[in-house]
Amino acid sequence: MTISIAHLGPAGTNAETAAVAFANKLSQLGQKSLLCPYPSIAQTLWAVSQGQTNLAVVPVENSIEGSVTITLDTLWQLNTLQIQTALVLPISHGLISLAASFEEIKTVYSHPQALAQCQGWLEKFLPQVQQIPTSSTTEALQHLGNEASAAAIASERAAQLYQLPILIHPINDYPDNCTRFWVLQKGTTEPEKSALQVIIKSINKPENSIFTSLGFSVPANVPGALVKPLQVFAKREINMSRIESRPTKRLLGDYLFFIDIEADNNHNYVKAAIEELKSYTDILKIFGSYTIMAIN
Amino acid sequence: MTISIAHLGPAGTNAETAAVAFANKLSQLGQKSLLCPYPSIAQTLWAVSQGQTNLAVVPVENSIEGSVTITLDTLWQLNTLQIQTALVLPISHGLISLAASFEEIKTVYSHPQALAQCQGWLEKFLPQVQQIPTSSTTEALQHLGNEASAAAIASERAAQLYQLPILIHPINDYPDNCTRFWVLQKGTTEPEKSALQVIIKSINKPENSIFTSLGFSVPANVPGALVKPLQVFAKREINMSRIESRPTKRLLGDYLFFIDIEADNNHNYVKAAIEELKSYTDILKIFGSYTIMAIN
């Protein structure tokens, strides 16, 4: 079986780097895989949800810029995907240009998150330059051929893939810059898909912490409506490693909550907590229990 | 005294529409004001923080896309600004183009939030069109003169300001689309600035609910570390209308929290709650108590 993996393309994006690293782990187990680039994160998730691919690799959160909200919103809507594992990728940005020196650069292209992550550096070294957002760091590189006065911010790997010169690297303002990705599969009990779960589990080290991700809505405008769900975990001393609110898209001030707990949903005390949680939430969705892998 | 108001420019952005509406409210009280456009939200906040303007109007949250994270991150860093009032502006988007029909359109330009808010409409009516992000909805309009096959997504007001034809309006996927703005002033006790506070207060209706916004960090990796701060409000039946987490930018998994409570920080029971909150938080910042005005 060849495992097909959807990711945000084209080649050279950080999502593709994460997917390649995951495919290498599968290869070490003798598993073949095939990378399938999609033009947006939403389309990447739809692809696995509709059975076009076996897995999807999507960014969830960056240590500087925070949540990738399209991932959370799409996961909530699709209702069918389960997280199999998480990957943590260190992120660094370089300034890529055919210009001979900084003085020649008039415009810098990159994804808005990458521009934001280099804002301090740009203000210090290229204060007069126009910053232009693109849909991916890779797309930014496409402008370099047309404009000698253009630069792009992208990874070293992207510069190498497209054989473009790196003027300076790294230029990100915060050195501890990482992005967390989720590897997702359509939730199912079919034997072939269960076999895939066994393969993914065997990559993970058993000593790693297990996390469970869930999402819920609470009754509107009830004082303390969010406190009761959180107490369910606090009183059992279950650590909540993350909470994120997202608008329900109905009314301003009406939210969904996404939380990660450091616990395995296959254990009885966690099952009991989630059972209790049902009485304090309107809609509750469990997105899976998984471990986190560091990749380089 | 002429009250200077910083906002994200140029003319035609939603931030400018909110600033104009607020200036009109001031004008009804016989107060002159001057709008000062800045190229980014961060620069808008720096301007008022450095005393270049008396006030700043910045977006905080959209009912579909969620928080404007640059506003929260910059407010936390600047340490000097106090919220004077909040404004809620209904948002609607139109498709603006010199093309004679949909068939001629090859590219659509707009701010990433506006593109996201019209994604369903675009997929239905312009599925083959390339979507290109711009730094503001107004900047998108600048592409229309150069390309006959280009369209932009922006407000009706922006189309009128730049005398451009609206092909269709509204095209946003969710009808209840609003953005909340904050009007901020440098925190101070100087008489002139206090006079401005009195003017702003007199615009608000006394029967409106009062909200207090605050931000805090909690000790890392303590189970239930977030529950204790929230219990401080829940046990006093103070409604928390919003919670937002933001990365501290140090480590993945290390967060700040921004919350809004429906209560006035000038009341003793709220002061007592905030006093108690200090024992469960590392850093605690109070961004002000204020009412919310609807504008059209």
pLDDT in the model for residue A189: 64
Average pLDDT score over residue span B12-36: 93
Given an 8 Å threshold on Cβ–Cβ distance, is B223 in contact with A230? no
Give contacts of A 148-187 with B, CB under 8 A.
174, 176, 178, 180
- Report the residue from A180, A243, A250 with minimal CB separation from B245: A243
> What SS3 class is residue A10?
coil
- Over the stretch B221-271, which tens digit does the pLDDT of each residue have? 676 788 889 889 988 888 888 889 998 888 787 889 999 999 999 899 999
- Over the stretch B81-96, which tens digit does the pLDDT of each residue have? 999 999 999 999 999 9
Residues of A in contact with B127 (CB under 8 A): none
Give contacts of B 215-234 with A, CB under 8 A.
221-224, 226-227, 230-231, 233-234
- Over the stretch B202-235, which tens digit does the pLDDT of each residue have? 777 767 789 999 999 988 767 678 888 988 998 8
- Report the residue from A62, A223, A233 with minimal CB separation from B239: A223
Residues of A in contact with B242 (CB under 8 A): 245, 253, 255
Residues of B in contact with A270 (CB under 8 A): none
Tell me how many residue pairs between chain A and chain B have CB atoms under 8 A apart: 127
Given an 8 Å threshold on Cβ–Cβ distance, is A249 in contact with B61? no
Among A215-219, B18-22, B187-191, the least confident range: B187-191
Place of tokens 């969830």: A60
Burial class of B122 by CB neighbour count within 10 A (0 to 12, 13 to 18, 19+): buried
| Partners of B90 in the β-ladder | B178
- Over the stretch B48-67, which tens digit does the pLDDT of each residue have? 999 999 999 999 998 888 88
Q: Report the complex ipTM.
A: 0.80
Residues of A in contact with B223 (CB under 8 A): 233-234, 237-240
Q: Does B258 touch chain A (CB under 8 A)?
A: no
- Report the residue from A88, A116, A239 with minimal CB separation from B223: A239
Average pLDDT score over residue span B154-179: 92
Given an 8 Å threshold on Cβ–Cβ distance, is A224 in contact with B234? yes
- For B268-280, b/e burial (b = at least 16 CB within 10 A) is eebeebbebbeeb
Given an 8 Å threshold on Cβ–Cβ distance, is A242 in contact with B245? yes
Given an 8 Å threshold on Cβ–Cβ distance, is B237 in contact with A223? yes
Nearest chain B CA: its distance from A191 CA (Å): 35
Residues in chain A: 296
User: Could you give the CA distance from residue A188 to residue A182 in angstroms, rounded to a whole number?
Assistant: 17
Per-chain mean pLDDT for chain B: 89
- Give the count of beta carbons closer than 10 Å to the beta carbon of residue B186: 18
Average pLDDT score over residue span B124-130: 90
Query: What is the model's pTM?
Result: 0.86
Question: Which two three-digit tokens encode residue B50?
Answer: 């450095």
Given an 8 Å threshold on Cβ–Cβ distance, is A176 in contact with B250? yes
In this structure, the strands spanning B284-294 and A255-261 are: unpaired
Among A144-158, A220-234, B122-136, B146-160, the least confident range: A220-234
User: Could you give the CA distance from residue A240 to residue A261 in angstroms, rounded to a whole number?
Assistant: 4
Separation in Å, CA A100 to CA A32, A89, A97, A155, A198: 42, 31, 8, 19, 52
Place of tokens 């404004």: B87
**8 A C-beta contact, residue A248 and residue A255:** yes
Percent helix, strand and coil across chain A, each to the nearest 5: 30, 35, 35
- Report the residue from A70, A221, A240 with minimal CB separation from B239: A221
Q: Does B250 touch chain A (CB under 8 A)?
A: yes
Q: Does B64 touch chain A (CB under 8 A)?
A: yes
- Residue spans of chain A under pLDDT 50: none
pLDDT tier for residue B130 given thresholds of 50, 70 and 90: confident
Residues of A in contact with B178 (CB under 8 A): 252
Q: Given strand B130-133, what is the order of strands in its sheet?
A: B130-133, B107-110, B150-154, B94-97, B166-168
For chain B, what is the HEC assignment?
CEEEEEEECCCCCHHHHHHHHHHHHHHHCCCEEEEEEECCHHHHHHHHHCCCCCEEEEEEEECCCEECHHHHHHHHHHCCEEEEEEEEEECCCEEEECCCCHHHCCEEEECHHHHHHCHHHHHHHCCCCEEEECCCHHHHHCCCCCCCCEEEEECHHHHHHCCCCEEECCCCCCCCCEEEEEEEEECCCCHHHHHHHHHHHHHCCCCCCEEEEEEEECCCCCCCCCHHHHHHHHCCCCCEEEEEEEECCCCCCCEEEEEEECCCCCCHHHHHHHHHHHHHCCCEEEEEEEEEEECC
Please choose, from the candidates A38, A41, A55, the residue with its C-alpha nearest in 3D space to the C-alpha of residue A200. A55
**8 A C-beta contact, residue B258 and residue B240:** no
User: Could you give the CA distance from residue B12 to residue B16 in angstroms, rounded to a whole number?
Assistant: 6
